[in-house]
Chain A
Amino acid sequence: MASETHAAGHGILHHHFDDLGQQRESNTLGMWLFLATELMMFGGLFLAYSIYRWQFPGAFHAGSQHLNITLGTINTFVLLASSFTMAMAVHSAATGNKQKLLFYLILTWLFGAAFLGIKAVEWTTDWKEGLVPGFHWFYYQEPANAAKVPELFNQWATTPDQVLLYFVVYFSMTGLHAIHMIVGLGVVGWYILLAARNQFVGGNDQPVEIVGLYWHLIDIIWIFLFPLLYLVAGFHPGGPH
């Protein structure tokens, strides 16, 4: 490792910092700046979402009908819970409790994996139903679903093309979110190994805090995605026809 360390007694202080306080603050600030870029990046998709939903409200209502609200709710629960366990992991690292740190990190990882698993189940269903734009889009072309097209007109005032646009937005947003989850899982998994090797002891708890910030941001993005994508029409898909 080229970044030799020289502060006496502290193997964790990098050479170019004066002291641990400065290093810790820099790391925190750096992570928050990175989160700001992540927010702006998702922001572009949220903008596209807003504009198209405003223009094609029907498509977004109709499209959201194809999603499984139950699984979405469970996933939201899972991700909120993982945020809690991650916060606890950070707490355990700060208090120097290695056993608890390991426990909570593993729990966080499991929650994250569960989230992706459930997401995978949802996507598989979409795939089977032919709701994946560009790859497997036939739902509204199927003879069996021929009746759905006039229904789209009558009930949701929309067309298959616009529902397709909704699904493009849906897969872009959840896809980008899932990529972030996968990265998060990788890092948390690696940190579990590091924690097992006593890497986060003796005041070196900050890496856990930093990865925690990232994890919470993914959670926050999902907090918005859930109502925006799943609950467009809520549970009142009403309207007699």
Chain B
Amino acid sequence: MEPNSYPLTGVQASSMAGDIDAVALFVTLVTVFFSVGIAIAVIFFAVKYRRGAKVDRSNAPLHSVPVEIAWTVIPLIIALSIFGWAATLYFRHTQVPPGSMEIYVVGKQWMWKLQHPEGRWEMNELHVPVGKPVVLTMTSEDVIHSFYVPAFRLKQDVIPGQFTQLWFTPTKPGTYHLFCAEFCGAFHSTMVGSVTVMEPEEYAKWLTTGNTQQTFAQVGAQLFRQYGCSGCHAGNSSVKAPPLEGIYGKSVPVQIPQPGTPLERIPATTVVADTKYIHDSIVQPEKLIAAGYRNIMPSFRNRLTEEQLFALIHYIRFMADQMPPARGSRGDVSGLTPEDYKARIGFVPENIKKITGGSDASGGRTGSAPSGTTGTTGGGATGGAAGTGTPQQ
């Protein structure tokens, strides 16, 4: 291992680490400069003007507006430049790069469960290939945890009832600490593990060994049947619910219910069907209604564990990769004409024409069926950007 350039700070093993250390070093220098400066001034004055010392004490200034302004403005400029630098870096930290490899993380007292899409799952250990951006989608089964890898200089709280994301690009092979940083109960300090950064070939080999009888999508597919999702949502089952093939990462028409207003009168709008949208649709199906459908789906809040939810989401995503819908099929809601809506549910949402009429979106969609993870994750990541989907009253 090459010598560490910051002996006090530990290894830098992610693309963010160097930059964070740099700004931290700068702030540390500012700290040292001012605290040493103040200390020297205090000691110097205390010695020079000690009681009984024969020095000139006449005309001691009692106030000076220029001086006050100077020592207000100069620190302010320094402070704001630190703010700007650190904020820029933080902004980068929140932008998940398209094409990141996605890993699902569930925290529970007092362990981490990490799930690779290829099917391999790990407890308290994470294996990732070097040089490839990885995004962790995380949630908690119980209390708040925090996923912390000091060598990456990154942490993110893991909160029950919410998704949080953390991305990083490992830059140096090795094994690093994984800590839970938010106090989570009796054995908080044993909720630790390791992150192993491997060469890509090694990683590929590693993925195929161990517990990989089923891919994560297969686990999801099982749940999809077990919990009766397929009863309504499978391609040929029923017209009661929107089919889910191919929706992941696409814009889908939805209606935002307004209390007391019949669905017919609510204009449809589009959101990107990303991880968050699908998670919400399972635990809070009443929040956004797929345009053209009744709100009849029961909530699965508290009926599915977070791991199971991840598996379902991943399965829906898998369907998008594997089974691109044919234009005009049930799976492709954008292909529906207002007449189709009428025939199916008896009414046409107010502006559905506007949304489905423009065929650019649907054209682009059917034109290039996405293949491989890269494309769809990109969609998912940008989905996080566009699909804030907050109900507006």
> Nearest 3 pairs between A and B by C-beta?
A157-B257, A61-B259, A157-B286
Interface-centre pick from B258, B294, B295 (highest chain A CB count, 10 A): B295
Chain B contacts for A60, CB-based, 8 A: 259
Chain A residue nearest to B256 (CB atoms) is A157
Residue B260 is within 8 A (CB to CB) of chain A in the complex: yes
Work out how many contacts link A and B, with CB atoms closer than 8 A: 57
Chain A to chain B contacts (Cβ below 8 Å), 29 pairs:
A54-B393, A55-B391, A57-B391, A57-B393, A58-B259, A60-B259, A61-B259, A62-B259, A150-B296, A152-B286, A153-B286, A154-B294, A154-B295, A155-B260, A156-B257, A156-B259, A156-B260, A157-B295, A159-B301, A161-B299, A161-B302, A233-B259, A236-B260, A237-B260, A238-B260, A238-B261, A239-B259, A239-B261, A239-B262
Chain B contacts for A233, CB-based, 8 A: 259-260
A58 touches B286 (CB 8 A): yes
Q: Mark B235-277, 1 if CB is under 8 A from A, else 0.
A: 0000000000000000000000111111000000000000000
Q: In the complex, what distance in Å separates the CA atom of A241 from the CA atom of B286?
A: 15
Chain B contacts for A159, CB-based, 8 A: 284, 286, 299, 301
Chain A residue nearest to B391 (CB atoms) is A57
B299 touches A157 (CB 8 A): no
Beyond A153-B295, A239-B259, list 7 extra A-B contacts (CB 8 Å).
A60-B259, A61-B259, A153-B296, A156-B257, A157-B286, A236-B260, A239-B262
Residue A44 is within 8 A (CB to CB) of chain B in the complex: no
Q: In the complex, what distance in Å separates the CA atom of A237 from the CA atom of B289?
A: 20
Interface size (A, Cβ < 8 Å)?
A: 24
Q: In the complex, what distance in Å separates the CA atom of A54 from the CA atom of B294?
A: 23
Interface positions, chain B 218-249, Cβ under 8 Å from A, are none
Residue B172 is within 8 A (CB to CB) of chain A in the complex: no
Chain A residue nearest to B255 (CB atoms) is A157
| A residues with CB within 8 A of B | 54-55, 57-58, 60-62, 150, 152-159, 161, 233, 236-241
- With A150-B296, A154-B295, A161-B299 already in contact, the answer to whether A57 and B286 are too (CB < 8 A) is no
Chain A residue nearest to B393 (CB atoms) is A57
Q: In the complex, what distance in Å separates the CA atom of A62 from the CA atom of B258?
A: 12
Interface size (B, Cβ < 8 Å)?
A: 20
Chain B contacts for A237, CB-based, 8 A: 260
Chain B contacts for A156, CB-based, 8 A: 257, 259-260, 286
B287 touches A157 (CB 8 A): yes
Q: In the complex, what distance in Å separates the CA atom of A62 from the CA atom of B287?
A: 14
Chain B contacts for A236, CB-based, 8 A: 260
- With A153-B286, A159-B284 already in contact, the answer to whether A57 and B301 are too (CB < 8 A) is no
Chain A residue nearest to B264 (CB atoms) is A240
- Nearest Cβ in chain A — how far from B257, in angstroms? 3
- Nearest Cβ in chain B — how far from A231, in angstroms? 13
Q: In the complex, what distance in Å separates the CA atom of A172 from the CA atom of B258?
A: 26
- Nearest Cβ in chain B — how far from A51, in angstroms? 12
Chain A residue nearest to B262 (CB atoms) is A239
Q: In the complex, what distance in Å separates the CA atom of A83 from the CA atom of B115?
A: 62
Q: In the complex, what distance in Å separates the CA atom of A236 from the CA atom of B259?
A: 11
Chain A contacts for B289, CB-based, 8 A: 157
Interface-centre pick from B297, B302, B391, B393 (highest chain A CB count, 10 A): B391
Chain B residue nearest to A60 (CB atoms) is B259
Q: In the complex, what distance in Å separates the CA atom of A239 from the CA atom of B302?
A: 29
Q: In the complex, what distance in Å separates the CA atom of A133 from the CA atom of B299?
A: 20
B296 touches A161 (CB 8 A): no
Chain B contacts for A58, CB-based, 8 A: 257, 259, 286
Chain A contacts for B296, CB-based, 8 A: 150, 153-154
Interface-centre pick from A54, A58, A152, A238 (highest chain B CB count, 10 A): A58
B260 touches A239 (CB 8 A): yes
Q: Mark B29-43, 1 if CB is under 8 A from A, else 0.
A: 000000000000000
Chain B contacts for A241, CB-based, 8 A: 262
- Nearest Cβ in chain B — how far from A140, in angstroms? 12
- With A159-B284, A159-B301 already in contact, the answer to whether A240 and B259 are too (CB < 8 A) is no
- Nearest Cβ in chain B — how far from A78, in angstroms? 29
Chain A contacts for B286, CB-based, 8 A: 58, 152-153, 156-159
Q: In the complex, what distance in Å separates the CA atom of A111 from the CA atom of B258?
A: 38
Q: In the complex, what distance in Å separates the CA atom of A238 from the CA atom of B262?
A: 8
Q: In the complex, what distance in Å separates the CA atom of A156 from the CA atom of B259?
A: 5
